[in-house]
Amino acid sequence: MRMYDLIMKKRQGGTLTPEEIRYFVEGYTKGEIPDYQVSALMMAIWFRKMDPQETLELTLAMRDSGDVLSLEGIHGIKVDKHSTGGVGDKTSLALTPMVAACGVPVAKMSGRGLGHTGGTIDKLESFPGFSTSISTQQFIENVNRIGIAIMGQTADLAPADKKLYALRDVTATVDNMSLIASSIMSKKLAAGADAIVLDVKTGSGAFMKEEEDSFALAKEMLSIGRMAGKQMAAVVSDMDQPLGRAVGNALEVREAIETLMGKGPEDFTELCMTLGTQMLLLGGVAQTEEEARGKLEESISTGSALKKLAEFVEAQGGDPAAVYDPSLLTTAPLVTEIPAPCDGYVRKIACDEIGICSLMLGGGRENKESEIDLSVGMVLHKKVGDAVKKGDSLATMYASDAAKAEAATKRFIAAYEIGEEKVPERKLIRGIL
């Protein structure tokens, strides 16, 4: 087989066979096929697309490029959850203890933030001592003992995707439906859960800006998961403004804790309920949506979800005291209010810009090696549809550096579109598939 022939075939609109797909994935992972040939193939795929069978084969080849975890040692139906990423998306922090408290074992792989979106692992590290670098054995033991464990993605998990994603990132070939779906699903399949609930975001803070594309991506991933023998569900949810009110690592942890105390923002609580319902149904601990919701609500009202979070944090080396007293979490020294520039209604928030403001404050990574400041970020007081008066606080900003705070404040104000006409509140849940 020759890489040249594969590139030519795809360039002419042909369909790659499973053998051809495995050939280039394996060859690239081993370093036998150079970047320039794989770049050319990625570009040909971007223009000519892949059919569902090719997409499945690519997913499976990337899954098999490294370790595939066996979670057989964990009792019960293991349910994983994946978000395509966004701003203020602290869902896993609240959702996983809720679901675990309802009896569904959660064995989850999470990633760090990159670009304008945050990552669950960075957020969890706001608990002093917390670590996601645990062995597979420890991971399995923790799930069996307390019902929940979160592990960082190891280098051995879908290494082909890691290499391909880095290449796509610099060759303008990220935004292809098949390439995104196979990239996400290869990692999820390698992580070994029995069932997967996807939270596919849509809007200015998401990867997919258009709702139609988000639905198409959700369907593509559902179909891959099912063909690979997993039970699947997907929720398409709004990311055209930050989720909840907090953006920034420790601030988001605080909001997740408040949500588990029953004092969380309405939209964030609702998303946790919606995703949690799907996880409980797939996990077999509820037969109807009503029953699932009832159990999730109980996990909050009885405090069992909050207790589960404390157990989880402690089991992974963290200090659980902050779970009961979030004021113990790290806080930034400079706290300022961001004033509304005029009267009116919030019509739009450029969500990715809010993520960039957090990045500018030091809350995200400019590159893979950057150290992040867990204490910085913003808590939004005004969201789409809200009335504002000039000088009202749009948000409270938490910063460690005055110059950065000033630059981020300007950018934050520019991200808000305030107009005379009131617009309806944004619909959070766009669909459940």
Q: Which residues bind ligand URA (CB under 6 A)?
A: 165, 174, 179-180, 183-184, 207
Nearer to ligand URA, 154 or 396 (CB): 154
H or E stretch covering 97: helix 91-101
Q: What's the CA gap between 44 and 67, in Å, rounded? A: 29
CB of 80 to ligand URA, least distance (A): 14
Burial class (CB in 10 A: 0-12, 13-18, 19+), 338: buried
CB of 186 to ligand URA, least distance (A): 9
Which residue's C-beta sits nearest to ligand URA?
Answer: 183
Residue 335 DSSP SS3: strand
Q: What's the CA gap between 182 and 225, in Å, rounded? A: 10
Residue of 80, 89, 161, 238 with catalytic role: 161
Q: What's the CA gap between 147 and 101, in Å, rounded? A: 8
Angle at 379 between CA 374 and CA 384, to 5 degrees: 135
CB of 308 to ligand URA, least distance (A): 27
CB of 138 to ligand URA, least distance (A): 25
Nearer to ligand URA, 81 or 308 (CB): 81
Nearer to ligand URA, 107 or 200 (CB): 200
Is 48 among the catalytic positions?
no
How many C-alpha atoms does 66 have within 13 Å on its Cβ side? 22
Gyration radius from the chain CA atoms: 22
CB of 163 to ligand URA, least distance (A): 12
Shortest CA distance to 147 belongs to which of 94, 106, 110?
A: 106
Q: What's the CA gap between 344 and 412, in Å, rounded? A: 17
Q: What's the CA gap between 349 and 384, in Å, rounded? A: 7
- Name the percent of the chain in helix, strand, coil, to the closest 5: 45, 15, 40
Q: Are 52 and 223 in contact (CB under 8 A)?
A: yes
The amino acid sitting at 33 is I
CB of 54 to ligand URA, least distance (A): 16
Nearer to ligand URA, 97 or 355 (CB): 355
Residue of 81, 90, 168, 404 with catalytic role: 168
Q: For residue 2, count other CB atoms closer than 10 A to its CB.
A: 9
Q: Are 67 and 154 in contact (CB under 8 A)?
A: yes
Nearer to ligand URA, 174 or 433 (CB): 174
How many C-alpha atoms does 399 have within 13 Å on its Cβ side? 20
Is 161 among the catalytic positions?
yes
Nearer to ligand URA, 207 or 268 (CB): 207
Residue of 10, 22, 78, 82 with catalytic role: 82
Residue of 187, 245, 254, 308 with catalytic role: 187
Residue of 92, 183, 214, 375 with catalytic role: 183
Q: What's the CA gap between 305 and 106, in Å, rounded? A: 13
Shortest CA distance to 293 belongs to which of 104, 428, 98?
A: 98
CB of 61 to ligand URA, least distance (A): 15
Nearer to ligand URA, 80 or 255 (CB): 80
Q: What's the CA gap between 119 and 359, in Å, rounded? A: 12
Question: Which tokens in the block code for residue 243?
Answer: 């989720």
Nearer to ligand URA, 91 or 183 (CB): 183
Is 187 among the catalytic positions?
yes
CB of 27 to ligand URA, least distance (A): 20
Cite the active site residues.
82, 161, 168, 183, 187
